[in-house]
Structure 1
Amino acid sequence: MKDAKYDVLGIGNAIFDVLVRTDESFLAAHGMIKGGMALIDEARAASIYRDMGPAVEMSGGSAANTIVGIANLGARAAYVGKVKDDQIGRLYTHDIRAAGVAFETGPASDGPATGCSYILVTPDGERTMNTYLGAAQELMPGDIDDAQVAASAILYLEGYLWDPKNAKDAFVKASTIAHDAGRQVALTLSDSFCVDRYRGEFLDLMRNGTVDLVFANEAELHSLYQTADFDTALKQLRSDARLGVVTRSEKGCVVASKDRVTAVPAFPIDRMVDTTGAGDLFAAGFLFGLVRGAGHENAGRLGALAAAEIIQHIGARPQTSLKELAKDNGLPV
């Protein structure tokens, strides 16, 4: 959109990611549910960190991963999230800006430390997350810049924001501003446990038009509609959302609108290393395709390409230029 300052503005929990390779016995010893995301307190965070091996560290959070992917594809990207003015918070700010993302949210001067997520990757590439939200929970409606939201073609929100009350209010405020400015609002459901907690509220957001586009994986979709049958859940999604995008791992994705369903295959990979950020980077490619007017099928292909790049190495930051990869594969950039 020519009149937009930013192609996509993401709002999410600003979380510093600490990734480490581990095995099933470590998960068992610490009572972790493999593949899930548990919210932890500062004491539990310290005990996990103490027992972890050497780690890879980077700015993260679901929406932040998506926004960095969008910047990597060559779009104009901005992010809103709360860190504390501490060492990790300053690292976070530098890291995300260095990735080409506009990040102007003022840090908190007091209160809890900058949020961290301890991400344990088992040999099969599955990731298990233990997240200390910390300062991320301090995101307030006052942190939402009306002009910035109104100047962004697409507003992208993460379901995890629905945990803290103030962030929930910031989410709704931003959505209202975006729609008043004629912009689109997208939501990722984030996590099947998150859907379990807020199923009714997420359905209301879709049905009342607070969000226009919903991203979900299969587990989240089944949780949303409390059915094990994919076709039943997809039919309901088409009824509830203006546009729904469901990722299905190696089966690719399905883009579902009121009038059609488009299936897009996954991109082939050499080796699965780490699924951290796969859904986030898929959303980056899809949203990039959307703002470029590439159509649903090409948007799905761009999403599949970005997801394939990210799962072949540790961490949720592209190690190869997604823009160049898209060009090499004949996709619009």
Structure 2
Amino acid sequence: MPNPKYDVVAIGNAIVDVLSQSDDAFIVEAGMTKGSMALVFSPEEADALYAKMGPGVEASGGSAANTVAGVAALGGKCGFIGQVASDELGTIFAHDIKSVGIDFTTPARDGEPTTARCLIFVTPDGQRTMNTFLGASQFLPESALDLGMIADAAILYLEGYLWDPEEPRAAMRAAIEVSRKAGRKVAFTLSDVFCISRHGGDFRKLMADGLIDIMFANEAELFALMETEDFDAAVQAAAAQVPMLVVTRSERGAIAASGGAVVAVPAEPIEKVVDTTGAGDLFAAGFLAGQAQGRSIEDSLRMGAICAAEIISHYGARSQADMKALVAAKLG
């Protein structure tokens, strides 16, 4: 098997984030569940919610896109596959992701709906409440896949959020097959409990069929997937079905289970949590970059923790510090 050109190629929602400061009262008044992600099903609803936002900051986002941006910031070679529309937000997304050195070749889609956007309300405690209009991103067809890019990636990274719409779900199944045939690894992030409530059966079958090499979850997602709130039992059950299970636990750090062993690391200390948007995405970035660099599981977990701590120290889900320098200072 030839050496891969890419460390990580991700398939996910191509979204432009709009972040605004808010307070708990507004979250309650608007009928949102604090700290969660909810779908907005029409552009009119998205426009109405956007009109209620305070001053906002726009930045290209999307869970898997944030992750590969983090891997690239750590020196990895990455590609991204996701659907945008032929509109202003689509142009912004494409420019942003290419500007950080990520290959992005997915053709823009003509006509409605518009490029996806995520309206993120950040409360003073740093919690983010997301409202996502998926727009064009949910119409990623199998025909838009860059099969050469997928086959040439050491790791194919898939976003659970994108499993919801039928068309990209079929595209991701096809991508898994391409990656497998090329002898590569497949990583999957569960993304959110609501994804598991809708597609937990699919996710469990992917694991049982041996199609997932690395599974990322937070504690709540792991409980939902394995249908138990006993952490040790959930880890044991999930780890029996995937070669590598990575679970983040917020301020309690993270664990990775592989080959019958469980490795745990603490969370990185941070002065103040400003915005938790992208914490899990950047944790995955650090871990994947560590694995691509041939580091130990413990060091890869620590890289994830370092990246997550940096991202929650400011607004937005893209790093503002020199990530390679941060890791070098702490791990060498």
TM-score range, shorter chain: over 0.9
Partner AA of 2:16 in structure 1: F
Match of 1:85 in 2: 86
Partner AA of 1:121 in structure 2: V
After superposition, give the CA deviation of every residue in 1:130-176 in whole Å (9 maximum; x if it has no partner): 00000001101111111111111110000011111110011111111
8 Å contact kept, 2:105–2:146: no
After superposition, give the CA deviation of every residue in 1:171-223 in whole Å (9 maximum; x if it has no partner): 11111111111100000000011111111111111110221110000010011
Partner AA of 1:314 in structure 2: Y
Aligned pair 1:168/2:155, yes or no? no
Aligned pair 1:25/2:44, yes or no? no
Match of 1:3 in 2: 3
1:111 is displaced (CA, Å) by 2.5
Aligned pair 1:38/2:38, yes or no? yes
Give the SS at the match of 1:254: strand
Aligned-CA RMSD value: 1.1
8 Å contact kept, 2:78–2:103: yes
Distance 1:327 1:235 in 2: 33
Give the SS at the match of 2:35: coil
1:3 is displaced (CA, Å) by 1.4
8 Å contact kept, 1:97–1:103: yes
- Structure 1 runs of 4+ off > 2 angstroms? none
Match of 2:321 in 1: 320
1:2 is displaced (CA, Å) by 7.2
Query: What pairs with 1:149-168 in structure 2 (closer than 5 Å)?
Result: 149-168=150-169
8 Å contact kept, 1:144–1:170: yes
Distance 1:206 1:143 in 2: 26
1:258 is displaced (CA, Å) by 3.2
8 Å contact kept, 2:114–2:136: yes
Query: What pairs with 1:295-306 in structure 2 (closer than 5 Å)?
Result: 295-306=296-307
Distance 1:34 1:267 in 2: 24
Distance 1:212 1:132 in 2: 30
Distance 1:308 1:136 in 2: 29
Distance 2:320 2:109 in 1: 31
Distance 1:158 1:169 in 2: 13
Distance 1:166 1:227 in 2: 31
Query: What pairs with 1:62-81 in structure 2 (closer than 5 Å)?
Result: 62-81=63-82
TM-score normalised per structure 1? 0.97
Distance 1:262 1:330 in 2: 17
Match of 1:242 in 2: 243
Distance 1:197 1:122 in 2: 28
Distance 1:26 1:137 in 2: 29
Q: How many residues align?
A: 331
Query: What pairs with 1:223-242 in structure 2 (closer than 5 Å)?
Result: 223-242=224-243
Match of 1:201 in 2: 202
Give the SS at the match of 1:320: coil
Provide structure 1 residue ranges, at least 5 long, that are not aligned to the other structure: none
Match of 1:268 in 2: 269
8 Å contact kept, 1:172–1:210: no
Distance 2:252 2:120 in 1: 25
1:309 is displaced (CA, Å) by 0.3
Distance 1:100 1:270 in 2: 30
Query: What pairs with 1:270-309 in structure 2 (closer than 5 Å)?
Result: 270-309=271-310
Match of 2:100 in 1: 99
TM-score normalised per structure 2? 0.98
Distance 2:229 2:193 in 1: 13
